[in-house]
Amino acid sequence: MALIEAKKLWKEYGDNVVIERVNTTVEQGEFITIVGTSGCGKTTFLRMLLGIEQPTRGELLLNGKPFPEEPGEDRGIVFQRYSVFPHLTVLKNTMLADEFGQSRIIGKLFGDKHKQAEDKAKELLESVGLTHALNLYPHELSGGMQQRLAIAQALMKNPRILLLDEPFGALDPGIRADMHELILGLWKKTGLTIFMITHDLHESFYLGTRLWVFDKLRLDPDNINAYGANITYDIPVGKADRTTYEDIDQSLDKSRKILIK
Amino acid sequence: MKRWMNLKPDVFGRAVLGALPFIVIIVIYIIASEARLAENPRDKLLPSFNSMATTITNMAVHPSKRTGEYIFWNDTASSLKRLGMGIGVAAIIGLVFGILNGIIPFARANLSPIITVISLIPPLAILPVLFIVFGLGELSKVVLIAIGITPFIIRDLQAKVLELPKEQLIKAQTLGASTWLVIVRVILPQILPRLIETVRLSLGAAWLFLIAAEAIASTDGLGYRIFLVRRYLSMDVIIPYVAWITLLAFMTDYFLRLISIKAFPWFHSTDK
């Protein structure tokens, strides 16, 4: 059975159609990169996977059951910003997941359990390269380090699905390349299913196993919200070539010109 | 020459400029006081610094002949106790309901309208009601301060909770937190420094309510003393008392800020 399945999925806000009739299936272990113009439903789709938005029509299934209507432990998230807790050090930020899980009243661990959570967090922080920053607060970290922390934090729960909402959008190109390497390494090691939104088409072409392009097939320039977006390209990344890249680039450009005036 | 808006004083210049108004006021006072005293040595309106110092020293180091208490310290202790209790109660209630309203939409829908209405009632207008219900003792004064500033604290903290990035709250949920755990591990620790900020902002109002309550019905306290000696035109008591209250207010504010910086370094990372 597929891990995630969308059947004739629609999302509308009143007259504003965001997503229109999306059909797709995703298997465990896929790494899907999502590109698309702003306003083409890629973030909305991610929010539905997260559980903070619900489809208005059609079905979105997780293991054959409708998606939970709130965020849960099986789906980790890294946002572009604000996904770490400013009042906790790097180590405490990471340990928090275990403290939530094992201490339901005060949310703090002591003694052996504290030690276990700390060791686990340290191990994860080592794998994202933050061992030297254990006792720093997030405001003392660079943007790239904060995102590494957010990833380590999410991995503490061993989620089956990791959602990345333009996680590297605010980073410098050089640091972004490091982050790509990091996320690919973690993905290969853990067998996670990853959805990553990016607006960098180049990035989406060599990261991951599958590329989705969210775009509006029909576009009424006078009423851009009349039709929703769909997955217009769904291609395995290994097979993508130069022509496909240019095709996508052109089609995205076309709708960008209409949508963003 | 540069534009005035681009000229900045250096450290020394700032200190001098800042001190200047104080010096001017003190000098004007001394001149005016001496002029009046030269004409009439028994003038009560602008007492000399000497006579103010003598009066306050008398009140601070010599026990009162009638009651055997040190009036100055007794007044200070009574007032600070009332103020502390009023603010403490307001802070605790404000913290609980501010967080609740901020994070739980059902609580907000239920409580926000009533809190808004209560916050619009002028607290001094219901002071008589408090005296009738709680008597003329300590309780009514503490209640006045609490009623006066609690709605402000609740509304301010509610807004602060709503300002926390949604991303954080979602992230906490994906890490397995219940509503309760989000409150104790994510919201409460981030709201505490903001509570200190809010309390600092409400100190002025708290003093106002304290002095008002003491002026109307009390047997001790800084506000009581000022209004008592007004009958005898005792400016030599009133002026030092007002200065003392100002100093106490300043120190409270200063120490709250110090505590916040020490306890929540991450919160003050952006200020210099």
Q: Note the pLDDT of residue A225.
A: 79
Checking if the pLDDT of A158 tops 80, the result is yes
Model confidence at B272, pLDDT cuts 50, 70, 90, reads very low
- Nearest CB among A77, A87, A137 relative to B174 is that of A77
Residue type, B158: Q
Question: Residue B268 domain-assigned?
Answer: no
Q: Note the pLDDT of residue A261.
A: 56
Checking if the pLDDT of A245 tops 80, the result is no
Residues B135 and B224 in one domain: yes
A85 touches chain B (CB under 8 A): yes
pLDDT tens readout for residues A30-54: 999 999 888 788 899 999 999 999 9
Q: Note the pLDDT of residue A239.
A: 57
| Global ipTM | 0.90
A90: distance to nearest CA of chain B, Å?
Answer: 12
Residues B190 and B210 in one domain: yes
Q: Note the pLDDT of residue B267.
A: 93
Checking if the pLDDT of A152 tops 90, the result is yes
Residues B105 and B203 in one domain: yes
pLDDT tens readout for residues B175-217: 999 999 999 999 999 999 999 999 999 999 999 999 999 998 8
Question: For the residues A224-237, what does the mean pLDDT come to?
Answer: 82
Residues B38 and B77 in one domain: no
Quote the pTM value: 0.88
Residue B70 φ/ψ, nearest 5 degrees: -85, 100
Residue B258 φ/ψ, nearest 5 degrees: -60, -45
Residues B167 and B204 in one domain: yes
- Nearest CB among A72, A79, A139 relative to B266 is that of A139
Q: Which residues of B touch A81 (CB under 8 A)?
A: 165, 167
User: Which alpha helices (H) appear in chain B, and where do they start and end?
Assistant: 11-39, 49-61, 71-103, 105-120, 127-134, 138-163, 166-174, 179-181, 188-216, 222-229, 235-263
The residues, ordered by sequence, that sit 6+ positions from B59 with a Cβ below 8 Å of its Cβ are: B70, B71, B72, B237
CB contact under 8 A, A70 and B177: no
Range of the domain at B33: 9-60
Model confidence at A238, pLDDT cuts 50, 70, 90, reads low
Q: What is the CATH number of the domain that holds B135?
A: 1.10.3720.10
What angle, 0 to 180 degrees and rounded to 10, lies between the N-to-C axes of helices A173-190 and A111-127?
120
Residue A209 CB neighbour total at 10 angstroms = 15
CB contact under 8 A, B171 and A150: yes
Q: What is the mean pLDDT of chain B?
A: 93
Question: Residue B215 domain-assigned?
Answer: yes
Higher pLDDT, B162 or A217: B162
User: In this prediction, what percent of chain A has a pLDDT beyond 90?
Assistant: 49
Residues B83 and B209 in one domain: yes
pLDDT tens readout for residues B19-55: 999 999 999 999 999 999 999 988 889 999 999 999 9
CA–CA distance from A60 to each of A35, A67, A79, A197, B131 (Å)?
20, 6, 22, 18, 62
CB contact under 8 A, A82 and B167: yes
Residues B148 and B222 in one domain: yes
Residues B187 and B150 in one domain: yes
Residue B59: HSE in the Cβ half-sphere, 13 Å Cα cutoff:
19
A72 touches chain B (CB under 8 A): yes
Q: What is the mean pLDDT of chain A?
A: 88
Residues B220 and B92 in one domain: yes
Q: Note the pLDDT of residue A176.
A: 86
Checking if the pLDDT of B270 tops 80, the result is no
In chain A, positions 124-153, which contact chain B (CB-CB < 8 Å)?
137-140, 150, 153
Checking if the pLDDT of B95 tops 70, the result is yes
Q: What is the total count of domains within chain B?
A: 2
Residues B52 and B80 in one domain: no
pLDDT tens readout for residues B210-250: 999 999 888 899 999 999 999 998 999 999 999 999 999 99
Residues B85 and B41 in one domain: no
Residue with tokens 């609690």: B150
Model confidence at A153, pLDDT cuts 50, 70, 90, reads very high
Question: Residue B65 domain-assigned?
Answer: no
Q: Where are the domains of chain A?
A: 86-157
| CA angle B216–B220–B224, rounded 5-degree value | 40
CB contact under 8 A, B170 and A76: no
Residues B49 and B171 in one domain: no
From the list B149, B141, B146, B127, the residue with the least C-alpha distance to B78 is B141
Residue B79 CB neighbour total at 10 angstroms = 25
Question: For the residues A77-101, what does the mean pLDDT come to?
Answer: 94
Q: Note the pLDDT of residue B30.
A: 95
CB contact under 8 A, B175 and A97: yes
Question: Residue B97 domain-assigned?
Answer: yes
Residue type, A36: G
Q: Which two tokens stand for residue B48?
A: 């000399």
Question: Residue B91 domain-assigned?
Answer: yes
